[in-house]
């Protein structure tokens, strides 16, 4: 094995997205280097055969490692440094994969049911190597666009049916056309990579795994609207994405894909990174523009829309990461190709961050129109511990909660809006039977309320009043009329708020009242939380018939609320019980309910 020719066909790929790094992927890479080096392989050869990639999608199985020998690939899951030596010894040296560490059927079903365009190369190419991007046809889409007229590029995007992937789904080609015809120069293209939704990591993962696709998309968009300058607005909490984006921009400049006279087309275009401070409101386009200009990130009334009067008062197009990263493939393969995927009104694919009470958490890309059932069960593997699926929240903290009764519905813009939710940027939080929908609504509303910029009264004050009512209900102090008041407040806030944050903030509450009203009524009228989540409404009771009189609950109770003697069942003094749940957790016989 010390002979370099014996490892010329070896390739080791390790997931080094943020999730992979958190699981220890860099340490795994270092250990592969040490193990191969100890066997006499030169450092330069090791460097070539051990590659890092972006997010592989199946975050629940990190660290993921591909061992490719002579073109034959095997994938390992949940790899740590202590497993590397055996993989090197048995698989790489002897050609015998360590079968018990290989990915299982759930890994293949997770990926096989997806349709990947944006994520196709994430996890397969080195995001810090422009040559790896060029080898898969990178920047060919930009070259093709620059060889024609800007109007032809816009027409191609319009024919694709691509809609904005960051929120309401406005047609991308139409937005470009409006901006291209607007008076004023210079014009700007802005990539919105702020992504402030809790549990969402789609844009971050695309930039970490394939940053050049975003840069190429910005070049295409800039050419189409006549912009010579672009900004990537990205939150500072994404250090790895920023690091890789800086490398990619620098390499693109050095190869002539950014700067003056790109590819001899006469088109000048360059990109600058603007790091945001983490305000959720800056995901709203006018607040984002204010932040780039050095002002406080607060929205303004529209019209005028940014396409007419945006950055520094000039015509500006704002697209999010996912929208822009779609462009190279659309230009390369044609608008009709993209339009053949998805539904009549919702074309192409959508990337979702699948999180919550689900077995297979991670990043997925699916065709528009796929059913919720396929996502949750075929890709996601169903709920953890095989619990009953209850609801899914889509569209981030401002999205609605969709009940299990709608599990067969298609996932597209119109269908989601029809049930009081939205596509948003692509967060998808799964809930099971142990989730309290009132408490969940309070969680999401507390986020949007705290992130409100405070500029308009409906959002600033209205969401606070709604949160106060929800808090009161979950504390067992709800009263008749609270549900009606929530509905009235939510409807008025949606109708009168200044920007999209306020207009959508009530969605979690309105949708849960619509589909789970009985849970609100149980909290208010019966003083119980059906899911046993709301601490103030818990009642801990000892089932005497099941009690084995072991005394473990007595020892675990921190407030002295449990009475117990040997060979006698325990009892709980409700007056002393602080409802901490220690007894429930301590009982090995499920005698406490």
> What's the Cα-to-Cα distance from 298 to each of 102, 287, 454, 592, rounded to whole Å?
49, 4, 9, 51
Token pair for 375:
């996502």
The CATH class of the 539-593 domain is alpha beta
Cα distance between residue 460 and residue 452, in whole Å: 6
Q: Structure tokens of 568?
A: 């006698």
Nearest CA to 183 out of 319, 304, 314, 286 is that of 314
One of 3.40.1190.20, 3.40.50.11540, 3.30.360.10, 3.40.50.1000 is the CATH number of 130-339, namely: 3.40.50.11540
Residue 341 φ/ψ, nearest 5 degrees: -100, 140
pTM value is 0.91
The verdict on whether omega for the bond into residue 458 sits within 30 degrees of 0, i.e. cis, is no
CA distance 520 to 517: 5
In the chain, where are the structural domains located?
4-103, 130-339, 349-432, 437-526, 539-593
Handedness of CA 242, 245, 251, 256 (dihedral sign): negative
pLDDT values of the chain reduced to their tens digit, one per residue, 593 residues: 444 436 668 899 999 999 999 999 999 999 999 999 888 877 777 777 888 899 989 988 999 999 999 889 999 999 999 999 999 999 998 899 999 999 999 999 999 999 999 999 998 999 999 999 999 999 999 999 999 999 999 999 999 999 999 777 899 999 999 999 999 999 999 999 998 887 788 999 999 999 999 999 999 999 999 999 999 999 999 999 999 999 999 999 999 999 999 988 999 999 999 999 988 899 899 999 999 999 999 999 999 999 999 999 999 999 999 999 999 999 999 999 999 999 999 999 999 999 999 999 999 999 999 999 999 999 999 999 999 999 999 988 888 999 999 999 999 999 999 998 888 888 899 999 999 999 999 999 999 999 999 999 999 999 999 999 999 999 999 999 999 999 999 999 999 999 988 999 999 999 999 999 999 999 999 999 999 889 888 888 899 889 999 999 999 999 999 999 988 899 999 889 888 889 988 999 989 88
Residues near 499 by Cβ (< 8 Å), separated by ≥ 6?
281, 284, 286, 287, 299, 456, 459
Architecture of the domain delimited by 437-526: Up-down Bundle (1.20)
- CATH number given to 4-103: 3.40.30.10
Q: What is the pLDDT of residues 100-127, one digit of tens each?
A: 999 999 999 999 999 999 999 998 999 9
Instruction: Give the helix/strand (H/E) hosting 51.
Output: strand 50-53
d(CA 546, CA 563) in angstroms, rounded, equals 16
Which pair of structure tokens corresponds to residue 53? 């990639």
DSSP string, 144-156: HHHTS-HHHHHHH
Q: May I ask the CATH class of domain 349-432?
A: alpha beta
Q: State pLDDT tens for residues 3-40.
A: 443 666 889 999 999 999 999 999 999 999 999 988 88
Query: Which has the closest alpha carbon to 289: 422, 223, 302?
Result: 302
Dihedral, CA of residue 196, residue 241, residue 84 and residue 46, to nearest 10: 170
What are the helix (H) ranges across 229-314?
Answer: 239-254, 285-292
Q: What are the tokens at 473?
A: 């209900």
Closest by CA to 290, choosing from 504, 447, 498, 457, is 498
Cβ atoms within 10 Å of 234's Cβ, excluding its own: 23
Instruction: Please check whether residue 564 is in contact with residue 551, taking contact to mean a CB–CB distance below 8 angstroms.
Output: yes
């Amino acid at each position: 094995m010390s002979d370099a020719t014996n490892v010329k066909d070896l390739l080791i790929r390790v997931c080094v997205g943020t999730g992979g790094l958190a699981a220890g992927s860099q340490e795994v890479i270092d250990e592969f280097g040490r193990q191969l080096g100890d066997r006499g392989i030169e450092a330069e050869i090791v460097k070539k055969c051990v590659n890092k990639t972006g997010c592989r999608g199946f975050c629940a199985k990190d660290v993921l490692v591909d061992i490719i020998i002579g073109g034959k690939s095997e994938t390992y899951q949940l790899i740590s440094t202590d497993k590397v030596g055996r993989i090197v010894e048995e698989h790489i040296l002897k050609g015998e994969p360590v079968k018990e560490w290989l990915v299982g059927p759930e890994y293949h079903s997770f990926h096989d049911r997806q349709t990947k365009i944006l994520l196709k190369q994430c996890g397969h190419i080195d995001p810090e190597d422009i040559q790896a991007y060029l080898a898969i046809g990178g920047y060919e889409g930009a070259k093709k666009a620059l060889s024609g007229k800007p109007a032809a590029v816009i027409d191609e995007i319009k024919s694709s049916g691509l809609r904005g992937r960051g929120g309401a789904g406005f047609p991308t080609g139409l937005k470009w056309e409006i901006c291209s015809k607007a008076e004023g120069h210079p014009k700007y293209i802005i990539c919105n990579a702020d992504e402030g939704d809790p549990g969402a990591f789609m844009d971050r993962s695309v930039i970490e795994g394939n940053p050049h696709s975003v840069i190429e998309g910005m070049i295409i968009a800039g050419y189409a609207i006549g912009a010579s300058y672009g900004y990537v607005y990205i939150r500072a909490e994404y250090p790895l994405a920023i690091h890789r984006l800086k490398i990619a921009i620098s390499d693109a400049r050095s190869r002539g894909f950014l700067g003056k006279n790109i590819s001899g087309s006469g088109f000048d275009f360059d990109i600058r990174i603007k790091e945001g401070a983490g305000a959720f409101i800056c995901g709203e386009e006018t607040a984002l523009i204010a932040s780039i200009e050095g002002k406080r990130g607060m929205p303004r009334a529209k019209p005028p829309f940014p396409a007419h009067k945006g950055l520094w008062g000039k015509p500006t197009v704002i697209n999010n990461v996912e929208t822009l990263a779609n462009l190279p493939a659309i230009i390369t393969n044609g608008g009709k190709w993209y339009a053949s995927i998805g539904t009549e009104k919702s074309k192409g694919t959508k990337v979702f961050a699948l999180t919550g009470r689900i077995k297979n958490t991670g990043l997925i890309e699916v065709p528009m129109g796929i059913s919720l059932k396929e996502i949750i069960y075929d890709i996601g593997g169903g709920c953890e511990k095989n619990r009953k699926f209850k609801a899914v929240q889509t569209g981030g903290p401002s999205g609605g909660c969709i009940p299990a009764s709608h599990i067969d519905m298609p996932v597209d813009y119109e269908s989601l809006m029809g049930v009081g939710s939205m596509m948003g940027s692509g967060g998808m939080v799964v809930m099971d039977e142990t989730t309290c929908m009132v408490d969940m609504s309070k969680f999401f509303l507390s986020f949007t309320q705290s992130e409100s910029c405070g500029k308009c009264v409906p959002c600033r004050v209205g969401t606070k009043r709604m949160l106060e009512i929800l808090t009161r209900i979950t504390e067992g102090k709800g009263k008749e009329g609270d549900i009606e008041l929530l509905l009235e407040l939510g409807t008025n806030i949606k109708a009168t708020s200044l920007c999209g944050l306020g207009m959508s903030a009530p969605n979690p509450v309105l949708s849960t009242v619509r589909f789970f009203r009985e849970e609100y009524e149980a909290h208010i009228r019966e003083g119980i939380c059906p899911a046993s989540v709301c601490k103030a409404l818990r009642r801990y009771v000892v089932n005497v018939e099941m009690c084995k009189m072991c005394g473990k609950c007595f020892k675990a109770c921190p407030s002295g609320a449990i009475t117990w003697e040997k060979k006698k069942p325990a009892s709980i003094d409700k007056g002393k019980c602080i409802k901490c749940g220690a007894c429930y957790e301590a009982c090995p016989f499920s005698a406490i309910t």
